[in-house]
Amino acid sequence: MKFLIFSLTLLISLACCKGDKAASTTTEPVKNTPAVVTGPQYQQLPNDIMLDLWNNGTLIDYIFHDLPFSMNQSEQASIRTNLTYFSSEAQPNIPAGCKSIGRQMFSIDGNIVLESDIYFSDNCAFFVFIMDGETKYANKMSEAGQQFYTTMIQKGLEAGKQR
């Protein structure tokens, strides 16, 4: 008999607890919570790094993953122009579906001081910067940068066809 009373008490307690949970979840208002963002949140490349490359940059190498060419720039004017392709606006994250088309390596006197993955496709136009092997910053691509990459890719593909 004691076992039966204990069992009934336990069942009633469990039923009450379940009922309270259901009631509390249906009667509480839904709170506005920010969307969960997956992955790291990037800030823009710091100005002191840009200034160092502007004043001291000696070479930019481009290596593309799926394009049949690579290239480099070693004239100061070209290097400086390339730096204007980084918008001052941060790219907070890498959207799903965006894929890097290649990598840039920025050198000062033979030492690679900064690398960036280049994202340039539909709805993707930005750079993700790597320093000391670690992804640290991301900037959107400027309009001039988008025009540059469009032209460069077209010319590179045309040159490849002529070979």
Instruction: Calculate the alpha carbon distances from 110 to 82, 129, 163 in Å.
Output: 18, 19, 31
Mean residue pLDDT of the chain comes to: 80
- If one compares 140 and 161, the residue with the highest pLDDT of the two is 140
Residue of higher predicted confidence among 10 and 42: 42
Pairing state of beta strands 111-121 and 124-131?
antiparallel
Mean per-residue pLDDT, 117-124: 93
Across 84-88, average pLDDT:
95
Question: For 11-39, how does the pLDDT look when each residue is reduced to its tens digit (9 = 90+)?
Answer: 333 334 444 434 333 334 333 333 334 56
Identify the weakest region by mean pLDDT among 16-20, 51-55, 150-154.
Answer: 16-20
